[in-house]
Chains A and B, each alone.
Chain A
Amino acid sequence: MAEAQLSEDRASEVMTVNIGPHHPATHGVLRLVVDLEGEVVRDLRPVIGYVHTGIEKSCEAQSYWKVIPFVERMDYVSYFFQMEAFCGAVERLIELEIPPRAKYLRTIFLELNRIHSHLVWLGTTALDLGAISMLWYCFRERDKILDLFEMATGQRMHTRYFQVGGVIEDIPLGFERKLRAFVDDMPVRVGQYEALLDRNEVFLSRTKGVGIVPRERLLELGVTGPLLRAAGEPWDLRKTFDYLAYPELDFKIPVGTVGDNYDRYRVRLAEMVESTRIVEQALEGLPAGPCIADDRKYVLPPRSELPTSMEALIHHFKLVTEGYRVPPSEIYYAIESPRGELGCFVLADGTAKPARVHFRDPSFVNLQAFREMSVGGYVADMIASLGMLDPILGGVDR
């Protein structure tokens, strides 16, 4: 299947076809220049940059706390992860410890966001493979997550919930009950998705044995995340590096064996269940206490203090107008996003604005493996492989 051969005696002719940048199957504004021999992909060049918006440059003109909404809009499906990468990097630069409750709350929202991101992936990719009903089911559950985001943060997307020092507000009354209902519901839903797809003849023959790239090659290409784990490499930054509440929680890292598109699908589905377990445990062990650090040099004072305390008013004024200064230094801080290693490099030059904010976006790096996933296969499988690669073009182009 993956190595389709054309007979030698037929007149072969290579045709170069342009797909995209505006094409529903490219999951964004991705342009593919594909050399086809009949239906077989012989070569492929991704052309990117169509949604480049210069976010990294714009960040250099903002004070640190104003950067957060910018970086959220890079990978628009996993916005909490960009926030965590940036806030975590700045917290390490100014050596600000965040309170335990904030760590747990961040973990909860990151994992909800991971489920959300995988749901969007599953819905759209299954749609590419002809399973249109999956889109409705996945977006039904996705909507519940967005409802939770809206309840806690006021926004459904691009929430600006994480702040340097913690999270902006504690979760509201009733949030826990709603989240618990979701957590109970989600594994059942994942089981239903599996029931729809796992024994679906069309889905199986479209995914099994397709798009295999050896594990060693994936590592050379810098691929991380579910793609790498599907090839049998149990590498997950949540386990290997110590950040947020992950060291205190019990969860497994699903891995695949063959590394084909079917394994990629299985790994992501299993990850959704594991993320649900993480959310459940984090909610169970949610410590009491403040949800944001109490360092008035970096963190806004509580609203209630403003009418009575002159100190608080001064701090508030200074933070909002000028922002805080970060001593000259630089850092690279990486976390596990739904697509792999999301790294944030922040260079501080001593002023209230960062001198450079760079994101190592996993979609951008993973896209390099796409050529090897597709060459030698059919053009229809190329579309399936692209879906399984799960690039978010906002993150690729930044």
Chain B
Amino acid sequence: MPDAPGLELIRGQIELDHPGAVIDTSFDHERAVLAIDPSHLLAVLTWLRDAPGQEYGFLSSLHAADYLPAEPRFAVHYELLNRDRVERLRVKALLGEPASPAGGAAGGTAPEEASATAGGGGSPAARGPAGQRLPEIDSCVELFPTAEFQEREAFDFFGIVFRGHPDLRRILLPEDYVGWPQRRDFPVGGEPVTFTYNERNYG
């Protein structure tokens, strides 16, 4: 892991080229975390991957988390790894929930219509339930091909749209599923199981 001063150095170097890209840094449990503004995501990831002295060339994991009731609500985590120095660095893109179609200020990201930009395929699953706007972030599949399945998973469970993903569809849930089940405001459980005795009610 880069140590705490090393993390500040990285922050300083990113701030030189992309002012405002880094929102926060933290160093909890000896893990370095770089919280960034999603509009600079690809620039930051490219720099971390390619700049001499950084070379975080391996994306171990990409996952999303819902910090409800915190604001911004979502974050996409990129667990980067430099295999030569054996250093991990987490980049955390903070992602607000777009305002509802009724109006109001959008939280951080460009308030674009989610369905219009949901991948080349324009899959119907990329649209939220009736009029719901989905948070958007750039896809990093070009930089890290390993992100393809994991971005689909984040989309599947959190409804985070990855702009430019080659094939953004649900991956684990059925394609006609409605809702984003890993969000904190989505209740647990709920599908009735059909047995012979209650088939009339649910069948």
- Residues of chain A whose beta carbon lies under 8 Å from any beta carbon of chain B: 48-49, 52, 54, 56-58, 60-61, 92-93, 95, 219-223, 235, 240-241, 329-332, 334, 341, 343, 345, 347, 355-356, 358, 360, 364-365, 367-368, 397-398
Contacts and interface: CB of A to CB of B under 8 A. Distances in A.
Given A332-B77, A355-B184, A398-B172, A368 B60 contact: no
Given A332-B90, A356-B182, A343 B146 contact: no
21 contacts: A49-B170, A49-B172, A49-B174, A219-B58, A220-B145, A220-B146, A221-B146, A222-B58, A222-B59, A222-B145, A240-B83, A329-B28, A331-B29, A332-B31, A334-B79, A356-B182, A358-B63, A360-B150, A367-B149, A397-B172, A398-B172
Residue from B29, B153, B186 having most chain A Cβ neighbours under 10 A: B29
A195 to B, nearest CB: 36
B173 A52 contact: yes
Given A219-B58, A345-B77, A48 B172 contact: yes
Contacts of B67: 347, 355
Given A49-B172, A220-B144, A57 B188 contact: yes
Contacts of B149: 364-365, 367-368
B165 to A, nearest CB: 14
Nearest to B92: A330
Contact of B60 (A60, A93, A220, A341): A341
Given A222-B59, A331-B28, 20 more contacts: A52-B173, A56-B182, A57-B182, A60-B188, A93-B29, A222-B147, A240-B83, A329-B28, A334-B60, A334-B61, A343-B61, A345-B61, A345-B65, A355-B67, A360-B60, A360-B63, A364-B149, A364-B153, A365-B150, A397-B172
B58 A343 contact: no
A358 B90 CA distance: 15
B173 A49 contact: yes
Rank and list the top 9 A-B pairs by shortest CB-CB distance, nearest first.
A222-B146, A360-B61, A49-B172, A52-B172, A358-B63, A240-B86, A220-B145, A343-B61, A61-B188
Contacts of A95: 29
A332 B79 contact: yes
B128 interface: no
Interface string B50-81: 00000001111101011100000000010100
A397 B67 CA distance: 24
Interface of B: 28-29, 31, 57-61, 63, 65-67, 77, 79, 83, 86, 88, 90, 144-150, 153, 157, 170-174, 181-182, 184, 186, 188
Contacts of B57: 219
Contacts, number: 97
A221 B145 CA distance: 5
A58 B144 contact: no
B171 A222 contact: no
A356 B75 CA distance: 12
Contacts of B88: 332
Contacts of B86: 240-241
Contacts of A329: 28-29
B31 A356 contact: no
Contacts of B79: 332, 334, 343, 360
Contacts of B148: 368
A262 B17 CA distance: 48
Contacts of A221: 145-146
B65 A330 contact: yes
Contact of B146 (A92, A93, A347, A365): A365
B149 to A, nearest CB: 6
B171 A49 contact: yes
